[in-house]
Amino acid sequence: MKPHRSYLPLLAACLALPSLLWAVPITIATPGGVVVLDIGHAGPTGQLVEPDPPATAGFRPPTIFAAPLPVGSGARALGQAGAFTAVADDATAASWNPAGLVQLELPEVSAVYRFSAREDTHESRSRELEAGQDSYTSSELNYLSGVYPFLLNDRNAVVSLNYQEAYDFTYEFTARFNGSNQQNVDTTINQTFRNATTNFFSNANQSLTIIADVLTDTESQINQVLDSALLSGIDFRQSGTIDAVSPAFAFEVTPSFSLGVALNFYTDGASRGNPIESSLVADYEGTSDSVAGITDTRNSTALISYDGVRYSGPVENPVETPIPPRSQTNAFADVQTNVQQDIYTVEGSYREENTTDDFHGFNATLGALWAATEKLSLGATVDLPWTGKGSQTKRIDHQVSTFDSNRVEVAHNSFQETQTRDVEYTFPLYWSVGALWRWSDRFYTSMDASRTYWSDYSYKAEGEERINPVNGEPYSSAALDDCWSFRLGGEYLCVLSSTEVPLRGGVFWEQRPASGSPDEYWGFSLGSGISLGKDPGKAVLDIAYIFEQGNNVMGSLLPGQAVRSDTIKHQIFLSAIWHF
């Protein structure tokens, strides 16, 4: 007699495995920070485990790979590679050295237009990332100014009102990311079940009441391998400017020495349709493959008791004899092994947008200019540190669909989130010194040396700690290095019968902030122009071309992905100045 077999279907129902939910995260490094995506996958018994919302970095500035750098102003200055601190003798002087404004003798207005084209070639030593080449352009109104000279106590003085494009955030980056994750999960689940049943059994010979009280200990051993792979296309774009409206004043202290100041009121470019914003799009697809080996061991002990009657004698009138109550203990075991494989296909799109509104800040630019001799002039300028404040809105839209092996959609998950926080940037102190040497009335050369204290550059979002904007690490432990730049330029003036044609050129080397140590860039510039008419009413048209190159730079673009880039940038500046 093996009565326990009749209880196995009941025991199997009682011992059904609970759902075990294992996360399968894929980490995608982007210029907007790290995004951790959870994708749909199979649990150990084949059930679909739907993905959790994406985990993203906290608030970050729109430029995560480098600090925003000053654009520079004017075709005349930039045609000499920006070696203009000791020259500063046109309407853009308020942005280079406001003390130089005293050299202007007539009222004038100016306008400058900028066009930039950049090409970045990326290389990654990470097998997960395929980054190639990005090319993009931008163009903006670079400078507007009005200048009015006058006498103050018989000394030259000048006031000017200036608009300048101070910082440019334009950047684009595209790549393909091969993300994968494999997890081995070994789990043991122990449970105890008790079940008591009463059965009735009768035939011509006897009638029995059988009570079975079964105590079962179960052990489920699960070995699951989750193997997930995603191929994601990353498209990161950012744009916008920080502009400044700068009233300036310069005065002549002595015939050879002047001082000047420009008050810079900073705003974002939203008023002219160019707000500070960035967008990150990661479209991905892939598979989640689950292989689960499940071994169930059941050890049961059954206490079986019965009693009843036995029938004897003729069938028409049987004699009933009581069967004394009896009990017995039965022990038995059952082992079941199952291997289950489930494959799901995942397709999704992660979109993040950041927009900065109501950005504002203030600082002053101080300048001094000294004509040491007829041939030598020396200049110095200090751009004071300042704090920029605004509100930043972060919008996330994540859509993901999961399909079974028959290409039937079994789940669709949607996640949207919008957060707005107050943000604060601290911009660093900058100083520059320059020298000009006049070889003749028509030819001079100039040289500048400058330093920017990027170690003071930081970003803070409301409710979060202050960070290093380049790599997102805590500012207290990851400050940037300060950076140097050196510029050398010159101008030769060709005087013709009815016009003047300047020939300009220059070279430069500069450091830019990056994680670890600063990146290094070098370049050259060429420029020229033409004058139309004579004062008063003279007009001057200038053009400048600037070539810039950096090799093995931008290592902060994707932290942890060993990305290095070679970058080439071409810029053209067009200036027009009218004298009255």
CB 228 within 8 A of CB 41: yes
In order, the DSSP letters of 195-262 are EEEEEEEE-SSEEEEEEEEEEEEEEEEEEEEEEEEEEEEEEEEEE-EEEEEEEEEEEEEETTEEEEEE
Residue 2 pLDDT > 70, yes or no? no
pLDDT recorded at residue 24: 57
Give percent of the chain above pLDDT 70.
90
For residues 283 and 285, give the distance between their C-alpha atoms in angstroms, rounded to a whole number.
Answer: 7
Q: What CATH number did the domain enclosing 18 receive?
A: 2.40.160.60
Give the residue numbers spanning the domain of 248: 3-191+222-294+338-579
What pLDDT is attached to residue 63? Answer: 60
Kindly list the distances between the CA atom of residue 318 and the CA atoms of 204, 206, 208, 310, in Å, as whole numbers in the listed order. Answer: 10, 11, 16, 9
Rounded CA separation 81/490 (Å): 9
For 290, the enclosing helix (H) or strand (E) is strand 276-312
Q: Model confidence at 404, in pLDDT bands (50, 70, 90)?
A: confident
Lowest mean pLDDT among 43-57, 267-281, 287-301: 43-57
Q: What is the predicted pLDDT for the residue at 83?
A: 95
Burial of residue 299 (CB within 10 Å: 0-12, 13-18, 19+) is: middle
Residue 22 and residue 183 in contact, taking contact as beta carbons nearer than 8 Å: yes
Please identify which residue in the block is written with the tokens 């071309």: 545
Q: Is the residue at 198 inside a domain?
A: no
Q: Look at residues 438, 449, 533, 430 and name the one whose alpha carbon lies nearest to residue 488.
A: 449
pLDDT band at 315 (very low <50, low <70, confident <90, very high): confident
Is position 320 within any domain?
Answer: no
Tokens 């053009």 -> residue: 543
Predicted local distance difference test score (pLDDT) of residue 427: 92
Residue 102 near residue 173, CB atoms below 8 Å: no
Instruction: Give residues with Cβ within 8 angstroms of 339, minimum separation 6.
Output: 291, 292, 293, 294
Q: Which sign, positive or negative, has the C-alpha torsion 412, 187, 56, 567?
A: negative
Q: Which of 244, 261, 245 has the alpha carbon at shortest distance from 102?
A: 261
Whether the CB-CB separation of 235 and 174 falls below 8 Å is answered with: yes
Banded pLDDT at 259 (limits 50, 70, 90): very high
Q: What is the pLDDT of residue 33?
A: 67
pLDDT of residue 45: 66
Q: CA-CA distance, 353 to 62, in Å (whole number)?
A: 10
Could you give the number of structural domains in the chain? 1
Cα 235 to Cα 110: distance, rounded to the nearest angstrom:
38
Q: How many whole angstroms separate alpha carbon 170 and alpha carbon 172? A: 7
CA-angle at 271, arms to 420 and 354, nearest 5°:
30
User: Is residue 74 in a domain?
Assistant: yes
Q: Indicate the burial class of 324 (C-beta count within 10 angstroms; 0-12, 13-18, 19 or more).
A: exposed
Least confident of 24-38, 94-108, 203-217: 24-38
Peptide bond into 536 cis (omega under 30): yes
Query: 428, 388 in Cβ contact below 8 A?
Result: no
Please state, as a whole number, how many other Cβ atoms lie within 10 Å of the Cβ of residue 203: 8
- Is residue 86 within 8 A of residue 446, CB to CB? The reply is yes
pLDDT of 307 reads: 86
Residue 323 lies in a domain: no
Average pLDDT value for residue range 28-55: 70
CA distance 214 to 196: 6
Q: Does 535 map to a domain?
A: yes
pLDDT band at 560 (very low <50, low <70, confident <90, very high): low
Burial label, 312 (beta-carbon count in 10 A; 0-12, 13-18, 19+)? exposed
Measure the CA–CA gap between 16 and 3, rounded to whole angstroms: 22
- What is the CB neighbour count within 10 angstroms for residue 184? 9
Give the pLDDT mean for 145-153.
94
Residue 195 has pLDDT above 60, yes or no: yes
Instruction: Say if residue 537 is exposed, middle or buried (CB neighbours under 10 Å; 0-12, 13-18, 19+).
Output: exposed
Contact 30, 236 (CB under 8 A): yes
In a domain, 120, yes or no: yes
* Tokens coding 346: 């995942």
Judged against a pLDDT cut of 50, whether residue 233 lies above it is answered with: yes
Q: Which residues contact residue 476 at a Cβ distance below 8 angstroms, ignoring those fewer than 6 apart?
A: 466
Please give the span between the terminal C-alpha atoms of the chain, in angstroms, as a whole number: 120
Q: Is the pLDDT of residue 492 over 70?
A: yes
Residue 121 lies in a domain: yes
User: What's the Cα-to-Cα distance from 500 to each of 129, 289, 440, 528, rounded to whole Å?
Assistant: 54, 74, 16, 10
What average pLDDT does the structure give for the chain? 85
Q: What is the mean pLDDT of residues 25-30?
A: 69
77 by DSSP, 3-state: which? Answer: helix
Single-letter amino acid code for the residue at 324: P
Token pair of 37, please?
Answer: 């995506």
Q: What digits encode the pLDDT tens for the residues 498-528?
A: 899 999 999 999 999 887 889 999 999 999 9
365 belongs to a structural domain: yes
Instruction: Read off the pTM.
Output: 0.80
